[in-house]
Every structure is written in C-alpha cells, then in structure tokens.
Amino acid sequence: MPAVALNSLKLEGKKVLVRCDFNVPLDAGRITDPTRIDASLDTIRYILAHSASAVLCSHLGRPKERTPSLSLKPVAEHLTAALGKKIALAPDCIGDITGRMISDLHPGDAILLENLRFHAEEEANDRDFSHELARGKNVYVNDAFGTAHRAHASTVGVTRFIAERAAGFLMLRELEALRAVTENPAHPYVAILGGAKVSDKIGVIRNLMTKVDAVIVGGAMAYTFLKARGVPVGKSRVEEDKVDLARELLAEAAKRNVAFLLPIDHVVASAPEAGATVETVRQIPPDKMGLDIGPEAVAEFIARLGGAKTIVWNGPLGFFELPEFAAGTLEVGEAIANLHGVTSLLGGGDTAAAVAGHPWAGNFTHISTGGGATLEYLEGLELPGVKALEA
Ligand code: AMP
C-alpha cells in the first residue's frame, strides 16, 4: 500500500508531529538558502488551517551532542516570518518542558522542536527515544524527503508509536517526480551525471544503465572514466581505485547499447583557484587539471539532450563554485530547462545550488530537495522513511 496522503486524514483537534527537512545552509547563524524550509510551508499551512496543531521537528547539520551553533533558532525565526505567526522554539525535542509546551498548543498553533540530532539516539533509531518523540501526538506526517533514505528515530522509529501517519505534500511531490522518471519513462531517456565522486554514483549509473538510452558524464567524475579509456587527464581529480570499475561500467554500457558520452574538451587550470590562468584544450597537459567541460563538449551534450523526452541530472559538470569553471554547468542547465515536451528532474544539493537564482531554473519539471535520497531512489533502493509510512 502506498503512503497515505496528508489531505486524506481527519486532522481536526489533533496534535501532528511533522518531520521536516530544515537542514539548511547557515553562515554565521544566518540562513543562506531557505528553499528547504519554504518547500514544506504548504504542508504546515494545511495542518494549521484544518484546526490541528503542528509539532515541527528536524535535524540541522551533524552534531553529536547539544551544539549551540546548530540550534534551529534561525529556522524558527524564518518560519515565524513566512507563516505570519509566532513559531516558538522548544528547548529540546523531548522532555517535560517541551511536553508541556506541546500540550498547551491550541488548534492552529505550531511549535518547532530543537535539533533532533542533539540526541545520539535519533540517528541510532533508538526505541525509547522514538517513544518519547511520539508522546502527546496523534498523527505523524513525514515531509522530510531529504532524510527519507535514513532509518532514524524521527523517520522510522516513531512510526511504531503513532498509528495514523501520512506523507506531506513535499514528500508526495518528490515521490511523484521520481516515479515519473522511473516507471515507464518516455524515451529517449538521457541521464547526465557530474560532481566529484564516482564512488557515490556507481549504483545509480548501474541502475540507470538498464533504463536510459544515453549516459552523459561531466565534472570531476569524468576524469576517472577518461583515464579508464586511456585518455591523458593531467592532474585532474581521479579516483585511482575506481578506474577498473569505470572500465567495467563503460564495457557494460557498450554491451547494452547505451551511449556513454564523456567530455571531448576541457577548461583547465593549474588548480581550482579564483583568478587562475584558464585555457580550453582538447588534450589536458600533464601539469593542468580539467575543471569544466569545454565548449565542444557543451555543444555535444546539448545536442544529445535536445532529442530526449526524459532527463535526469545529478551533479555539477565543473567546479561551478568559481565562475571561471561554471559555464559548462550553466549552459547545459539552461538548455535542459528550455527544452519543450521533456520531463526533467534535477537532483542533488550542489546541482540545485548551481542553477539557483537563474531565471530559467523554474523551467525544470522538478528540482529535488534531496541529494542522497534522490540518488538512492534512482539506484532502485527502497527509502526507509517512505516504507515506514506505508500501511
Ligand atoms: P558531488 O557532491 O559529488 O555532487 O560533487 C560536487 C562537487 O564537485 C562540487 O563542489 C564541484 O566543485 C566539484 N567538481 C565538479 N567538477 C569538478 C572538477 N572537474 N574538478 C574538481 N571538482 C569538481
């Protein structure tokens, strides 16, 4: 049975524990990108508008114990402004004071619990902690797609103690977008992968290879594959221990008749540094590293993507944090976004950050808020946080 949708529950008068993904980037205590918070606002508004009270919870960062710099206080402030009503921050996610604050909530009120990961029991999926977290709540809603690949107390354990549970609207949107590219996708289907590490994406490449017509690889990952093909890569970032595996994946693609495109030219420099002397080359000199795909690769990739009906994209195609090496990612991104009649799914925090703020970014069919969760879904793995919602 698939997960129940939030709008099929009767919420009136109930206390709803909502697992959100408020794991937002912070700079000196300021939220630099509130996308993940804003993506859950419709779920929160719906609960409050249906005369229920919302007990919001999330992790932030990777603390092992109470860490003041990773308090959810800035998130409470952002929520207060976004919802136009005071969202108090409880001093902890469990305990008597928090319990009293929750029992004092009226229908239409919301409260935010302090960072779940201030307790090691959260990641350990501890039974007693899960029980405590469930105390005083009648309904559980999971809207934290970005954490759905983790079996933690707030994503899995807690569901043992709250019978009525549902997927929030963000979770539903994310799953719907992933289903659209995995269950009977329209062909031609092209996967484009980038980023730093081949090791993170082996499972995805293997699984997508059984579904797609072409795999395009850019970013640092491409150099491990180019090395496997015997192409000189200079000082480019290569995962030496994955070269044999890359060779296997290339052979597998050939066997399956899946086109496997690697960049034919490169933007190189001595190091990924602002102001570095940059050149575009077809053959990487021994003292240089490939930091972006070159213009010929951009044109070839765009031409291949132009014929697609389904596109999945994960991982930047260059060292996009520096403008010198961002062109490949942005030109290919803009071309995908402006295609008509194509289902395009963009996943991964870095890829989303690379396109954020560009006027065409809104043209993708879906930009996922999840990195690891999207990759695991595309790998064909079951997401424990989604499984736990199923009846
Ligand atoms: P990932 O987390 O695996 O998606 O990797 C994202 C990171 O890969 C970003 O920080 C990029 O700057 C980096 N990256 C992309 N292309 C390259 C490249 N050619 N050389 C070094 N780093 C790169």
Q: Is the dihedral of CA 92, 120, 118, 164 positive or negative?
A: negative
End of a domain among 172, 202, 226? 172
State whether 99 and 218 are in the same domain. no
Q: Is 349 a catalytic residue?
A: yes
203/220 Cα distance (integer angstroms): 17
206/378 Cα distance (integer angstroms): 10
Q: Which atom of ligand 1 is nearest to the CA of 314?
A: 4
Q: Is 195 a catalytic residue?
A: no
End of a domain among 126, 151, 172? 172
218/261 Cα distance (integer angstroms): 9
State whether 204 and 238 are in the same domain. yes
Q: Which atom of ligand 1 is nearest to the CA of 351?
A: 4
Does residue 35 surpass a pLDDT of 70?
A: yes
Model confidence over 303-340: pLDDT tens digits?
999 999 999 999 999 999 999 999 999 999 999 999 99
In a domain, 278, yes or no: yes
In a domain, 194, yes or no: yes
Contacts with 30 (C-beta within 8 Å, 6 or more apart), sequence order: 74
Structure tokens at 202: 């082996």
Q: Is 348 a catalytic residue?
A: no
Q: Tell me what percent of the residues of the chain surpass a pLDDT of 70.
A: 99
Does residue 369 surpass a pLDDT of 90?
A: no
Phi, psi for 96 (deg, rounded to 5): -70, -45
**What pTM value is reported for the model?**
0.90
Q: Cis omega (within 30 of 0) on the bond before 188?
A: yes
Residue of higher predicted confidence among 391 and 53: 53
State whether 368 and 245 are in the same domain. yes
In a domain, 295, yes or no: yes
203/212 Cα distance (integer angstroms): 14
In a domain, 384, yes or no: no
State whether 61 and 199 are in the same domain. no
Q: Is 328 a catalytic residue?
A: no
State whether 256 and 323 are in the same domain. yes
In a domain, 388, yes or no: no
Confidence of residue 391 (pLDDT cuts 50, 70, 90): low
End of a domain among 141, 172, 203? 172
pLDDT on residue 61: 96
Model confidence over 38-74: pLDDT tens digits?
999 999 999 999 999 999 999 999 999 999 999 999 9
State whether 133 and 240 are in the same domain. no
State whether 15 and 149 are in the same domain. yes
Contacts with 259 (C-beta within 8 Å, 6 or more apart), sequence order: 213, 214, 215, 253, 304
Structure tokens at 316: 């930047």
In a domain, 153, yes or no: yes
Measured from CB, residues less than 6 Å from any atom of ligand 1 are 194-197, 200, 219-220, 237, 272, 290-291, 315-316, 318-321, 348, 350
Contacts with 296 (C-beta within 8 Å, 6 or more apart), sequence order: 264, 265, 282
What CA–CA distances, in Å, run from 300 to 67, 255, 265, 332, 335? 48, 22, 10, 10, 12
CATH number at residue 267: 3.40.50.1260
Beta strand spans in 242-342 (E): 259-261, 266-269, 279-281, 289-293, 310-314
State whether 132 and 66 are in the same domain. yes
Q: Which residue has the tokens 């879904």?
A: 377
Model confidence over 76-104: pLDDT tens digits?
999 999 999 999 999 999 999 999 999 99
State whether 102 and 231 are in the same domain. no
In whole numbers, what is the pLDDT of the chain averaged over residues?
A: 96
Model confidence over 235-275: pLDDT tens digits?
999 999 999 999 999 999 999 999 999 999 999 999 999 99
Mutate to test the pocket of ligand 1, among 198, 350, 378 (most ligand atoms within 8 A of CB): 350
pLDDT on residue 197: 86
Domains: count for the chain: 2
Tell me the residue range of the domain where 67 lies. 6-172
In single-letter form, the type of residue at position 74 comes to P
Of 188, 258, 187, 251, the residue nearest 225 (C-alpha) = 251
State whether 120 and 262 are in the same domain. no
pLDDT on residue 200: 86
Residue with CA closest to ligand 1 atom 18: 220
State whether 209 and 163 are in the same domain. no
Would you say 246 and 197 are in contact if contact means Cβ atoms under 8 Å apart?
no
pLDDT on residue 239: 96
Averaged pLDDT, 101-129: 98
